[in-house]
Structure 1
Amino acid sequence: MNKTKVDFPNNFRQNISIQKINKCYSNFSKSELEMKNITVKVAGRLIFKRIMGKASFLVIQNIHAKIQLYIAEKNITNKKYKEILKNLNHGDIIGVKGILFKTNTQELSIKCNTVVSLVRSTKHLPNKFQELSNQEIRYRQRYLDLIMNKKSKNTFKMRSKIVNCIRNHMIDLNFIEVETPMMHKISGGGLAKPFITHHNALNMNLYLRIAPELYLKQLIIGGFEKIFEINRNFRNEGISINHNPEFTMMEFYAVYIDYQDLMTIVENLISSVVKKLFNRYTIEYKSILLNFKPPFHKISMQDAICKYHSDIKNTDLNDLKKITHIAKKFNIQINSQWGIGKLQEIIFSEIIQSHLIQPTFIFDYPTEVSPLAKCKNDNNFLTERFELFINGNEIGNGFSELNDPKEQKTRFLQQEKNKKLGEKIFMQYDANYLLALEYGLPPTAGCGIGIDRFIMLLTNNTNIRDVIFFPTLRTPQKTRT
């Protein structure tokens, strides 16, 4: 004999949201609500049920709020009180209709006359009295995390606010939002290891983009003057608390400015987002009070190394033998092909970066590690480039754009040479980008900002997986049954 199929209705409509009920009627007194006799229809997930004979209390929630339900046998219009409660399980989605009232303890509630089961949860929710604390389950089953953990819900609602705030700030500055390809013929735009895919119809390998930089600058060549893009980048590197292989970045470009102007734009963006969201410039991150009030601290890379290690002198950093000795002293694994610029950058990233807690711009990066940045007018060894660090992590990377096609070709050829010498991270030669440069890239500066890391700071999270809905995870090990 076939079991009777349970049909769940698809025609239940809310006339108000749970959050609006709480916002509009929480301050009403018990007598005021009785006089108004307000009928509401809402739906949500059942997270609590307490049966007390002929009357019961339930709680339903959505992503924003929750509300208590009062269900009494005498109030149910279809007279199936016991049957309704018997068939309701934690996790079910239900719709209710009833009158708003306040209990003797002054809790805003709905006195239900209709209860409709909209969908059955056939899996048991985790312990309803505790938040879901198993980190592995939280990342692999984000839906459970969002059902059970208020902090996670708030994190992702805040994420949306932060991204919208960034976008609105850029639009207010007359930047135009654009979209560029996710799949590239050339692995370019950044020094990182790419993901490779294959296009069957064209029978060609493509790369998931490391950065949108080269396409965005082609739009500048085409006549756009202020543009930005918020989208995904992909880097086939390690997984850590600060790095997910798929991550969100904003890149933006503006003509007739340089890296000094760019630092001011970034500084104003970061500080204004914090001020708008928190109504202050300071936020507490773990046990640290971060201060985003401009101006941010600015220091050159070489000066930063000398500041945090006073036994190192600027002259040491510009002598190949001495800087190699310094790197070895700190047990840094080095490549014999690296020049002074690369050694400076690796010493900085390995031993200095972690000291940069408050928002700090590090500027004047070596040309050797900046293949797309314009050199300083008075020093070809250095470029007009900066990175923004907060709590020891890079948040942004920007520079005055190299717009000389001959020099850019030389830089690309050097990257090809680095590859032949065994360098694993290099930038591919891009003939199409060089062709575009020959039509003239106006004086331009551009910056990329890591959205996920910025969101980690503003939501007080220490793991990047906590701010990405579905982070990249290792395949779980099979367990014995």
Structure 2
Amino acid sequence: MLVMELNDLQAQRAAKLEQLRAAGLDPYPPRCRRSHTIGQVLAAFDELAAGEAVVTLAGRIIGARRVMGKIAFAHIEDGTGEIQLWLSRADLGDEWFERFRDQIDTFDIVQATGTLRRTKTGERSLFVREMAVLAKAINPPPEKWAGLQDVEERHRQRYLDLIVNRERRDIFRARAQVMSTMRRVLDDRGFLEVETPVLQPIYGGAAARPFVTYHNALGQNLYLRIATELYLKRLIVGGFPGVYEIGKNFRNEGVDRSHNPEFTMMECYQAYADYHAMMTLVEEMLGEICLAVHGTTTISYQGRELDLRPPWPRIAMADAIVERTGIDITRHTDLDSLHAAIADRGLRVDRKTSWAKQVDELFSEFVQPHLFQPTFIIDYPVAMSPLAKRIPGRPDFTERFEAFIAGMEIGNAFTELNDPFDQEERFREQLRAFAAGDEEAHQMDEDFINALRYGMPPTGGLGIGIDRLVMVLTDQASIREVILFPHLRERLEGRG
């Protein structure tokens, strides 16, 4: 059995733990006998105090303990609130008063029974008559415990981050509210929540590199899904009028302020709808979510005001690019022509190996950073949208939009391609791109084409990135702040 070495502070706390055991106490008992949460007590404090009710609270000791002769003070919190413990040798008795003084530390989790009163300064307090240890903390608080500052340590030890930076908990409460409100909006509109495979024999539904695993019993490679799209559309073929899924997707890509290889998406599909209906759904859904979290649709993000009220501007991708770069992608329709236009303009942009990727790079570099207020960029080229339906009369462009807020893509949606022959040809174009070196090109999914051959009604589809949406709604600059356990590089040898 591996036994971790203890530093001096840990060893001191471990010695106190043994002293508790030597006194016949279990420093890790199996249960407590709490009568109220701290939040419940604070909500009815004056009533409980007037009735001299005896309450039992439990929580972690936070902040410094103060022992002043025959009186001591500490604060405990339990996730619902924080309250002061007022301890006196006369009320608690010599044994437990000295135990509190000598063997109980900040971060220990304790149980305290007593009556409620306000101190002379008006602070609401529990005047303690009885006490018990519920969990002895061997690790002491960080040196600057009121605010763990090292960002990497906060992410590696999220449990400690949540203890000492309690405002972080509000981020994840808001995240839960985002998802619960999103579910309510979709449920109220008749969508059915479903679950589709995480392990897939063919990855699809997005342009991304997958994570690969191996199924021993079946003797085949499987892929962690990069999207739920193709399975959800099979359900529309099967007759459901609307479906959605909120779950994890996995993409074998880099990590930055808005990307994590494991992330949470909501995808929904509605039969007999199109991308205009999906735009309306996004405006209404995000407005309701913002109201649920903040009570208003006007919020602040990184010092700038955001207004999520509908309607949002709708700008064609080609128009957005020509406005910012002077390049008309409807005229420069092949890679050589586009490269020449970029050179003529003297634009500093990474050179890409396909026309679609070069257009995407132009957009990402020169347009996206300026999309701070909620905006729909619509009508994407077919080459960038292998699963979207063509615009009638404009065969080179599709009924696709992406929703942007604060310079980040929040959502992606189409009028879904339901022509099995067109879909097969686009898959083949993607295979040719893959053979030419595009590792993110879409794979051929013959079963999905077979499903389309049974007939899929006109359908609108939408995906929303939960993590980025929570970033906006909680004013966080990094996606790592809204994921409880983000992916981090392995520690270098010798760094602890």
TM range (shorter): over 0.9
Q: Is the 8 A contact 1:398 1:446 kept in 2?
A: yes
Over 3 Å counting, the alpha-carbon distance change for 1:475 and 1:342 in structure 2 is closer
**Aligned equivalent of 1:424:** 439
Query: Which string of whole-angstrom CA distances, capped at 9 and with x for unpartnered residues, describes residues 152-207 of structure 1?
Result: 11111111111111111111112111111111100111110101111111111110
- Tell me whether 1:333 sits opposite 2:350 in the alignment: yes
1:152-191 correspondence to structure 2 within 5 Å: 152-191=168-207
What is the Cα deviation at residue 395 of structure 1? 0.3
Over 3 Å counting, the alpha-carbon distance change for 1:135 and 1:320 in structure 2 is closer
Over 3 Å counting, the alpha-carbon distance change for 1:312 and 1:429 in structure 2 is closer
**After the TM superposition, which of the residue ranges 156-165 and 190-199 deviates more from structure 2?**
156-165
Give the gaps of 5 or more residues in structure 2.
1-17
Q: For 1:33 and 1:257, locate their aligned partners in 2 and report how far apart those are by CA, in whole Å.
A: 56
2:396 pairs, out of 381, 395, 406, with 381
- Tell me whether 1:227 sits opposite 2:238 in the alignment: no
What is the Cα deviation at residue 96 of structure 1? 0.9
1:70-219 correspondence to structure 2 within 5 Å: 70-76=86-92, 79-127=95-143, 130-219=146-235
What is the Cα deviation at residue 293 of structure 1? 0.8
**Aligned equivalent of 2:406:** 391
Q: Is the 8 A contact 2:329 2:338 kept in 1?
A: no
Q: For 2:79 and 2:474, locate their aligned partners in 1 and report how far apart those are by CA, in whole Å.
A: 17
**Aligned equivalent of 1:365:** 380
- Tell me whether 1:16 sits opposite 2:36 in the alignment: yes
Aligned AA (2:258)? N
Q: For 1:44 and 1:271, locate their aligned partners in 2 and report how far apart those are by CA, in whole Å.
A: 37
Query: Which string of whole-angstrom CA distances, capped at 9 and with x for unpartnered residues, describes residues 253-307 of structure 1?
Result: 0010111111111111111211232222110111110010100011000111122
**Aligned equivalent of 1:454:** 469
**Aligned equivalent of 1:267:** 283
| Percent sequence identity over aligned pairs | 41
Aligned AA (2:373)? Q
Q: For 1:335 and 1:394, locate their aligned partners in 2 and report how far apart those are by CA, in whole Å.
A: 21
SS in structure 1 at match of 2:367: helix
Q: Is the 8 A contact 1:97 1:115 kept in 2?
A: yes
Q: Is the 8 A contact 2:327 2:342 kept in 1?
A: no
**Aligned equivalent of 2:5:** none
Q: Is the 8 A contact 1:242 1:453 kept in 2?
A: yes
Q: For 1:367 and 1:313, locate their aligned partners in 2 and report how far apart those are by CA, in whole Å.
A: 16
Aligned AA (2:424)? K
Over 3 Å counting, the alpha-carbon distance change for 1:10 and 1:133 in structure 2 is same
Q: Is the 8 A contact 1:33 1:101 kept in 2?
A: no
Q: For 2:335 and 2:249, locate their aligned partners in 1 and report how far apart those are by CA, in whole Å.
A: 35
Aligned AA (1:65)? G
Give TM-score scaled by structure 1 length. Answer: 0.94
Aligned AA (2:40)? K
Q: Is the 8 A contact 2:37 2:78 kept in 1?
A: no
Over 3 Å counting, the alpha-carbon distance change for 1:334 and 1:364 in structure 2 is same
1:39 pairs, out of 54, 57, 66, with 54
1:47-86 correspondence to structure 2 within 5 Å: 47-48=62-63, 49-76=65-92, 79-86=95-102
Aligned AA (1:461)? Q
Q: For 1:445 and 1:417, locate their aligned partners in 2 and report how far apart those are by CA, in whole Å.
A: 27
Q: Is the 8 A contact 1:47 1:128 kept in 2?
A: no
Give TM-score scaled by structure 2 length. Answer: 0.91
Q: Is the 8 A contact 1:317 1:344 kept in 2?
A: no
2:260 pairs, out of 240, 244, 257, with 244
Q: Is the 8 A contact 2:257 2:478 kept in 1?
A: yes
Query: Which string of whole-angstrom CA distances, capped at 9 and with x for unpartnered residues, describes residues 90-128 of structure 1?
Result: 111111111011001111110011110011111111136
**Hey, which bits of structure 1, 4+ residues long, moved more than 4 A?**
3-6, 313-322
Q: For 2:210 and 2:231, locate their aligned partners in 1 and report how far apart those are by CA, in whole Å.
A: 17
**After the TM superposition, which of the residue ranges 238-247 and 151-160 deviates more from structure 2?**
151-160
**Aligned equivalent of 2:14:** none
2:307 pairs, out of 261, 282, 291, with 291
What is the Cα deviation at residue 318 of structure 1? 4.3
Q: Is the 8 A contact 2:177 2:292 kept in 1?
A: no
The aligned length equals: 471
1:314-329 correspondence to structure 2 within 5 Å: 316-318=331-333, 321-328=336-343, 329=346
Over 3 Å counting, the alpha-carbon distance change for 1:43 and 1:326 in structure 2 is farther
What is the Cα deviation at residue 62 of structure 1? 2.0
Q: For 2:210 and 2:262, locate their aligned partners in 1 and report how far apart those are by CA, in whole Å.
A: 11
Over 3 Å counting, the alpha-carbon distance change for 1:75 and 1:174 in structure 2 is same
Aligned AA (1:475)? E
Aligned AA (1:206)? L
Q: Is the 8 A contact 2:318 2:330 kept in 1?
A: no
What is the Cα deviation at residue 348 of structure 1? 1.0
Q: Is the 8 A contact 1:33 1:102 kept in 2?
A: no
Over 3 Å counting, the alpha-carbon distance change for 1:436 and 1:240 in structure 2 is same
What is the Cα deviation at residue 83 of structure 1? 2.1
**Aligned equivalent of 1:404:** 419
SS in structure 2 at match of 1:74: helix
1:344 pairs, out of 337, 356, 359, with 359
Query: Which string of whole-angstrom CA distances, capped at 9 and with x for unpartnered residues, describes residues 446-474 of structure 1?
Result: 01000000000110100100000000000
